[in-house]
């Protein structure tokens, strides 16, 4: 099957890690036409705005984008490009797979779970006001529509990715109306997916359980703030944010990117670690239905980590970005010719 995907190389190390990732995707043999677009500071220079309509339109038209990190220009009046993009494309689900890599020191080498975070409302609606000096209110917005679509997404993700259970995380014992509605929508969706086990846990207990017995979780779904906190907690369980992949999914588009930023301190040196973007690209391949290519990419990447000989500087090795990519590419080619 042919695919057209928007490629946003991004800033800093972005062009280096996207080039390495595209090269490995191409080694899998998937038929992708890349349409390159720019956002952020580069777009500001060319089009006079950080989120140009031409780029947004391409992301909508192609539906799927692979994106390097973007530097939001520093100065007054520039809102975060990433937040703007989430709004423009209504990217309501933030998906963070949490899976440890071989030979990367961490607390839970066997961990394999997925966080699905609602990305558009909750306490991030920006509704804050001063009631009287010294008293402020911050409004938490939970709607039936957003809670239903995020729960539906989590169950569909579980079904499509061979996962067994979805856990809703909440504080409905205290926030009876808001989190209560979220939980009600979750269980309404659960009825439509009888093959997937559904349960729920209170957020504070979830934090303790994640630290002590994380293997009990599979897919986890939650509103915005809990998702923000738990996704970083889970990244910590497998070795930190540096290797964390992510996806922002909506009906008008899906954007796959690493969680880390543009690392200006090492940009242009050819030493950046492309692993997080590669893990995001593996999720992207699954999303577009190229499951076999995704599996071959993941196996090759994990094998390079198992060998431990072509590891980048940030993880204690001395491989350059392109040497690391070449090692993965060679594993894919070797596996392909062994199977032929
Ligand atoms: P950062 O994640 O870019 O860097 C933090 C530290 O981690 C640096 O020492 C960097 O060298 C290292 N690092 C990050 N990624 C690495 C990689 N792939 N390989 C090896 N080392 C890596 O965070 P920072 O410095 O706070 O942000 C830099 C810029 O990135 C800012 O302009 C920020 O706005 C932007 N940013 C963009 C994001 C996105 O587009 N999704 C997300 C986070 C930040």
Instruction: Write down the catalytic residue from 157, 179, 228, 331.
Output: 228
- Residues with Cβ < 8 Å from 113, sequence gap 6 or more? 97, 98, 99, 214, 217, 218, 219, 220, 234
Q: Give the helix/strand (H/E) hosting 208.
A: helix 203-212
Tokens describing residue 64: 């799927």
Residue 340 is predicted with a pLDDT of 76
Name every protein residue with a CB atom under 6 angstroms from any ligand 1 atom: 13, 17, 69-72, 82, 242, 257, 260-266, 272-273, 314
CA angle 276, 307, 16 (to 5 degrees): 35
Tens digits of per-residue pLDDT, 1-51? Answer: 899 999 999 999 999 999 999 999 999 999 999 999 999 888 988 999 999
Nearest ligand 1 atom, CA 74: 32
* pLDDT for 77: 66
Q: What is the Cα 322 distance to its own chain's centre? A: 23
80: confidence class by pLDDT, cuts 50, 70, 90: confident
- The best mutation among 231, 248, 262, 274 to test binding of ligand 1, ranked by most ligand atoms within 8 Å of the C-beta, falls on 262
**Close Cβ partners of 261 (under 8 Å, ≥ 6 residues apart):** 12, 69, 71
Please report the pLDDT score of residue 79 as a whole number.
73
Residue 56: its H or E element? helix 53-62
Q: What residue owns the CA closest to ligand 1's atom 4?
A: 263
> Which are the contacts of 316, defined by CB distance < 8 A and separation ≥ 6?
none
Segment 58-77 shows an average pLDDT of 88
Task: Verify whether residue 171 is a known catalytic residue.
Answer: yes
Distance between CA atoms of residues 319 and 76, nearest Å: 39
Q: Which ligand 1 atom sits closest to the C-alpha of 17?
A: 18
How would residue 339 be classed by pLDDT, with cut points 50, 70 and 90? confident
Nearest protein Cα to ligand 1, atom 6: 263
Q: Which atom of ligand 1 is nearest to the CA of 257?
A: 41
**Sequential DSSP letters for 162-198:** T--EEEEEE-TTTSTTHHHHHHHHHHHHHTT-TTSEE
Please write the tens of the pLDDT for every residue from 153-194.
999 999 999 999 999 999 999 999 999 999 999 999 999 999
The alpha carbon of 334 and the centre of ligand 1 are apart by a number of angstroms equal to: 33
pLDDT category at 117 given cuts 50, 70, 90 is very high
8 Å CB contact between 243 and 104: yes
pLDDT for res 338: 85
Q: Is position 228 annotated as part of the catalytic site? A: yes
Q: How far does the centroid of ligand 1 lie from the alpha carbon of residue 51, in Å?
A: 20
CA distance 95 to 105: 23
pLDDT in tens, 291-313: 999 999 999 999 999 999 999 99
Mean pLDDT of the chain, nearest integer: 94
Per-residue pLDDT tens digits for 147-160: 999 999 999 999 99
Ligand 1 atom closest to residue 273's alpha carbon, by position in its atom list: 19
Of the CATH numbers 3.40.50.150, 3.30.70.1890, 3.80.10.10, 3.40.718.10, which one belongs to the domain with range 2-105+239-339?
Answer: 3.40.718.10
> What is the DSSP-derived secondary structure letter of residue 310?
S
Check 31, 160, 199, 204 and give the catalytic one: 204
Instruction: Cite the DSSP H helix spans in 213-340.
Output: 224-237, 275-287, 291-307, 321-339
Residue 75 has pLDDT above 70, yes or no: no
Catalytic entry in 63, 67, 152, 171? 171
What does each C-alpha distance from 56 to 72, 81, 237, 255 come to in angstroms?
Answer: 16, 12, 35, 11
């Amino acid at each position: 099957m042919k695919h057209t995907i928007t490629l946003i190389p991004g800033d800093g190390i972005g062009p280096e890690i996207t080039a390495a990732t595209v090269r490995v995707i191409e080694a899998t043999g998937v038929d992708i036409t890349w349409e390159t677009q720019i956002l952020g500071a580069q777009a500001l220079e060319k089009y006079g705005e950080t989120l140009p309509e031409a780029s947004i339109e391409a992301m909508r038209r192609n539906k799927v984008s692979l994106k390097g990190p973007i530097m939001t220009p520093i100065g007054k009046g520039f809102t975060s490009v990433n937040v703007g993009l989430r709004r423009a494309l209504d990217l309501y689900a933030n998906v963070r797979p949490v899976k440890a890599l071989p030979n990367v020191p961490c607390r839970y080498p066997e961990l394999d779970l997925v966080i699905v975070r609602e990305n558009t409302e909750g306490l991030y609606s920006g509704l804050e006001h001063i009631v009287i000096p010294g008293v402020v209110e911050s409004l938490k917005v939970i709607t039936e529509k957003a809670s239903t679509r995020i729960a539906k997404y989590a169950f569909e993700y579980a079904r499509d990715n061979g996962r067994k259970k979805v856990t809703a995380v909440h504080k409905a014992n205290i926030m009876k109306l808001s989190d209560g509605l979220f939980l009600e929508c979750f269980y309404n969706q659960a009825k439509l997916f009888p093959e997937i086990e559904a349960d729920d846990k209170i957020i504070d207990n979830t934090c303790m359980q994640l630290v002590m017995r994380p293997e009990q979780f599979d897919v986890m779904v939650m509103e915005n703030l809990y998702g923000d906190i738990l996704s970083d907690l889970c990244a910590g369980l497998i070795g930190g944010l540096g290797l964390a992949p992510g996806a922002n999914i909506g009906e008008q588009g899906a954007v796959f990117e690493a969680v880390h930023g543009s690392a200006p301190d090492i940009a242009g040196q050819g030493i950046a670690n492309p692993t997080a973007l590669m893990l995001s690209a593996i999720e992207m391949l699954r999303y577009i239905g190229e499951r076999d290519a995704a599996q071959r990419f993941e196996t090759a990447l994990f094998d390079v980590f198992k060998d431990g000989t072509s590891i980048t500087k940030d993880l204690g090795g001395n491989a350059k970005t392109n040497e690391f990519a070449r090692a993965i590419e060679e594993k894919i080619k070797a596996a392909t010719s062994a199977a032929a």
